[in-house]
A and B are shown apart, each in its own frame.
Chain A
Amino acid sequence: MQHRDRLALLGAPVWQGQPLYQSYLIVAPDDAAAGLADLENGIHAFSDPDSNSGWLVTAADLRAIGRRPEEFFARTIFCWGHRNVVRAVAGGLVRSGSVDGYVWEALAEIEPDLTARTRVLARSEWLGFPPFVVRADRMDEPGIRAFRDALLGMETTEAGRAALALLRLDSIGPAQPSLYNGILSRMQALNASP
């Protein structure tokens, strides 16, 4: 979203029938917290400072109550990967973590022992699934067009279906910039002056 003026959408993954996903706030299964506010002074794991689900959503939620992650939490760490956030929470390194809901659900199938050691405390609203993008000025290049066609027709080929099954996705569908209005509004909310 930071570079939306220079990028063009090729398509968005369709997961569970729609190109949307959520950000999960996760804690240990035995944690008594009932919401984000109860996690104050704990250690929190973010996935990546550029991640929507792994940083922006929680930071924006805190912003909404007039707080900032660095002072709300005792300490924040970046784990550089959604699975790592789940590992950090499951292993007890941190009290809570912000993680991509799609990744958490996929892990629940692939590594149920790992996700079983976490509990989803809160789910965000549905947001646009991270899309495939290209530089806008190269959109009409034949290679790019072929790539877009391949993406959008993945479910029509054997190899494409296998790849989608591996990714736990239904298909790659066409996407419009309006799909990401939710994320945009959170970015704006975060950047707005207090």
Chain B
Amino acid sequence: MTRLLRNLPLSVRVPALVAGLMILVGVVASQQVLAVLGRVQEERLREIARLQVEGLAVALGPAVLREDVWEVYDTLDRASLAADGRRLVLTVVADGQGRVLAASDPRRAPVGRPIGPLAEGAQALEEVGLAAGLAEIRVLSSLEYQGRVVGQVLTELDVTDLAAERSRLVRMLLAGNAVLTALFALGGYWTVRRMMRPLRVLARHMDMTEGRPTAIPLDPRHDPEVARLFRTYNDMAGAVEARSEAERRFAERERYASLGRLSSSLAHEINNPLGGLLATADTLQAFADRPEVVQDGAALIERGLRHLRDVAKATLEQHRLDPEGAPLGADDLEDLRLLFSPEARRLEQALEWRVEARGDTLARLPAAPVRQIALNLLLNGSRAAGSGGTVGLDVEEGPGELRVVVRDSGPGLPDSALRRLLTSDPGGPGGGLGLRTVRDLAAALGARIDHARAAGRTEIRVRFPIPEVAAC
């Protein structure tokens, strides 16, 4: 029940609680009213019974004393005719020995019979109460005349009208409470819906956000607290936007930083063939008349220039990071190798490179973010492995996924770096954005990142889900 209530929306739960409270209040109020009514009715009954007994005592005292059956009966008979005949069902007068002298209905209480059986269940005059479900109650009282008890009076009172009044009141209370409860529940629902409109606006804006929260237009009619809430939300939306912008800028900067780090290696990579090319050019100039030298020199120059062209192309491709761009291919991984190899060579690191994925599998993922992820992890691994270390890249297919695994023989990632890579916790100061960029790009592609450390090696495994291709 509690779980069911908890699962209900707030706009239903609160009115339901209001309705429940109303029912509770209604029940308590009804109980109070019925209790008061019961007391009033009992008081009324006591008064009727008291007046009856006192009146009879005055009228019948001498007759009871003389045991004058006719006089007692005549008085009771006239009294019952004079009364409205509804309340007093039966009046029995007994003598001092408890024998019936006369009754308003002698057939029910014959003369001379003991009053005891008739008085069974009778209440004392001072303690008359209305028992539930009883149509008649009996009251037994002593009959006093001139200060002494001369007999007894048993009065049977019809209380059906009181019971009917009570049940009518119960029905009225139930109907009234039901109507009021329904009205208050509806009122509560409407009020709470109104009160919660700002929250719905807030929730709608948050649903519409999709990574870019939009500000809620402020209305001067808004409640001050709601206005403050909206302002806080707008401030937060602005802060998120600013943060996203900053992250975009940082990511961009990181990309340039990566390239910057690569640039020295690339310069070296370009410089080496350039030296060879220049030497070849000198050779060609010196031995221009020797065709075999010229041919060899030209071939050498061509290989060098092709290499330079590939390096330039890889650099340009890496620079042009476009998430919506071309699909991933084997050549992208080859470019990556081309870009990273000089850095590995510079640090005299062993590079283990293994790509075992089919082209159509690779093509289901975008090239730019995967390349960026792999490059950042490789650069990070290379830096950790240090001079003479080992860095490796495995690209392999799994069921429904493509795994890119980067290994290094470094001392392992510090906690702050792991947090940046594996969680959305804010990174520590000065940590750089390379690993955070990996995490953000992976998250955008729905990829999972695992970290393992075994046999002196750190292994970062990024598992990209392969989107299903609809069968033609």
**Interface of A toward B, CB cutoff 8 Å:** 43, 45, 74-75, 77-80, 84, 87-88, 91-94
Nearest Cβ distance between residue A84 and chain B, in whole angstroms? 7
Asked whether, in the complex, the Cβ of B112 is within 8 Å of the Cβ of A93, the reply is: no
Contact of B106 among A74, A75, A78, A93 (CB under 8 A): A93
* Chain B residues bordering chain A, tally (CB within 8 A): 13
**Which residues in window 58-100 of B have CB below 8 A to A?**
68-70, 73-74, 77
Instruction: For the complex, give the distance between the alpha carbons of A79 and B77 in Å.
Output: 13
Asked whether, in the complex, the Cβ of B105 is within 8 Å of the Cβ of A84, the reply is: no
- B110 surroundings in chain A (CB, below 8 A): 92
Asked whether, in the complex, the Cβ of A80 is within 8 Å of the Cβ of B70, the reply is: yes
Asked whether, in the complex, the Cβ of B74 is within 8 Å of the Cβ of A43, the reply is: no
Contact of A87 among B69, B77, B112 (CB under 8 A): B77
New A-B pairs, 8, CB < 8 Å, besides A87-B77, A92-B106, A94-B111: A43-B112, A45-B70, A75-B69, A75-B111, A75-B112, A79-B70, A88-B70, A92-B105
Instruction: For the complex, give the distance between the alpha carbons of A93 and B72 in Å.
Output: 11
Instruction: For the complex, give the distance between the alpha carbons of A75 and B106 in Å.
Output: 15
- B102 surroundings in chain A (CB, below 8 A): 93
- B111 surroundings in chain A (CB, below 8 A): 43, 75, 93-94
Within 8 Å of chain A (Cβ to Cβ): is B290?
Answer: no
Nearest Cβ distance between residue B97 and chain A, in whole angstroms? 14
Contact of A91 among B68, B77, B112 (CB under 8 A): B77
Nearest Cβ distance between residue A119 and chain B, in whole angstroms? 16
Nearest Cβ distance between residue B313 and chain A, in whole angstroms? 130
Asked whether, in the complex, the Cβ of A78 is within 8 Å of the Cβ of B107, the reply is: no
Nearest Cβ distance between residue A45 and chain B, in whole angstroms? 7
Instruction: For the complex, give the distance between the alpha carbons of A75 and B73 in Å.
Output: 15
Q: A43-B111, A43-B112, A74-B112 in contact; A91/B106 too (CB < 8 A)? A: yes
Nearest Cβ distance between residue B68 and chain A, in whole angstroms? 8
**Which residues in window 107-129 of B have CB below 8 A to A?**
107, 110-112
**Which single residue of chain A is at the shortest CB-CB distance from B103?**
A93
**Which single residue of chain B is at the shortest CB-CB distance from A43?**
B111
Nearest Cβ distance between residue A29 and chain B, in whole angstroms? 13
- A87 surroundings in chain B (CB, below 8 A): 74, 77
- A88 surroundings in chain B (CB, below 8 A): 70, 73
- A94 surroundings in chain B (CB, below 8 A): 106, 111
Instruction: For the complex, give the distance between the alpha carbons of A84 and B75 in Å.
Output: 12
**Which residues in window 144-186 of B have CB below 8 A to A?**
none
10 smallest A-B Cβ distances: which pairs? A92-B107, A93-B106, A92-B106, A77-B69, A79-B70, A93-B73, A77-B70, A43-B111, A91-B106, A91-B77
Instruction: For the complex, give the distance between the alpha carbons of A75 and B68 in Å.
Output: 12
Nearest Cβ distance between residue B48 and chain A, in whole angstroms? 23
- B70 surroundings in chain A (CB, below 8 A): 45, 77-80, 84, 88, 93
Instruction: For the complex, give the distance between the alpha carbons of A78 and B70 in Å.
Output: 7
Q: Taking each of B107, B110, B111, which has the highest tally of chain A beta carbons within 10 Å of its own beta carbon?
A: B111
Nearest Cβ distance between residue A41 and chain B, in whole angstroms? 11
Asked whether, in the complex, the Cβ of A91 is within 8 Å of the Cβ of B73, the reply is: yes
Instruction: For the complex, give the distance between the alpha carbons of A91 and B107 in Å.
Output: 8
- B106 surroundings in chain A (CB, below 8 A): 91-94
Instruction: For the complex, give the distance between the alpha carbons of A137 and B425 in Å.
Output: 142
- A45 surroundings in chain B (CB, below 8 A): 70
Nearest Cβ distance between residue A53 and chain B, in whole angstroms? 18
Instruction: For the complex, give the distance between the alpha carbons of A43 and B99 in Å.
Output: 15
**Which single residue of chain A is at the shortest CB-CB distance from B72?**
A93
Instruction: For the complex, give the distance between the alpha carbons of A94 and B107 in Å.
Output: 9
Instruction: For the complex, give the distance between the alpha carbons of A87 and B107 in Å.
Output: 13
Instruction: For the complex, give the distance between the alpha carbons of A91 and B106 in Å.
Output: 7
Instruction: For the complex, give the distance between the alpha carbons of A94 and B74 in Å.
Output: 13
- A84 surroundings in chain B (CB, below 8 A): 70, 74
Instruction: For the complex, give the distance between the alpha carbons of A80 and B69 in Å.
Output: 12
- A93 surroundings in chain B (CB, below 8 A): 69-70, 73, 102, 106, 111
Instruction: For the complex, give the distance between the alpha carbons of A138 and B70 in Å.
Output: 38
- B105 surroundings in chain A (CB, below 8 A): 91-92
Instruction: For the complex, give the distance between the alpha carbons of A79 and B69 in Å.
Output: 9
Instruction: For the complex, give the distance between the alpha carbons of A75 and B77 in Å.
Output: 20
**Which single residue of chain B is at the shortest CB-CB distance from A46?**
B70
Nearest Cβ distance between residue B100 and chain A, in whole angstroms? 10
Instruction: For the complex, give the distance between the alpha carbons of A43 and B102 in Å.
Output: 12
- B69 surroundings in chain A (CB, below 8 A): 43, 75, 77, 93
Instruction: For the complex, give the distance between the alpha carbons of A78 and B74 in Å.
Output: 12
Instruction: For the complex, give the distance between the alpha carbons of A87 and B81 in Å.
Output: 13
A-B contacts, 26 of them at CB < 8 A, read A43-B69, A43-B112, A74-B112, A75-B69, A75-B112, A77-B68, A77-B69, A77-B70, A78-B70, A80-B70, A84-B70, A84-B74, A87-B74, A88-B73, A91-B73, A91-B77, A91-B105, A92-B105, A92-B106, A92-B107, A93-B70, A93-B73, A93-B102, A93-B111, A94-B106, A94-B111
Instruction: For the complex, give the distance between the alpha carbons of A36 and B106 in Å.
Output: 22
Nearest Cβ distance between residue A95 and chain B, in whole angstroms? 9
- B112 surroundings in chain A (CB, below 8 A): 43, 74-75
- B68 surroundings in chain A (CB, below 8 A): 77
Instruction: For the complex, give the distance between the alpha carbons of A78 and B48 in Å.
Output: 32
Instruction: For the complex, give the distance between the alpha carbons of A78 and B73 in Å.
Output: 12
Instruction: For the complex, give the distance between the alpha carbons of A92 and B109 in Å.
Output: 10
User: 1/0 contact trace for B8-42 toward A, CB 8 Å?
Assistant: 00000000000000000000000000000000000
Nearest Cβ distance between residue B140 and chain A, in whole angstroms? 21
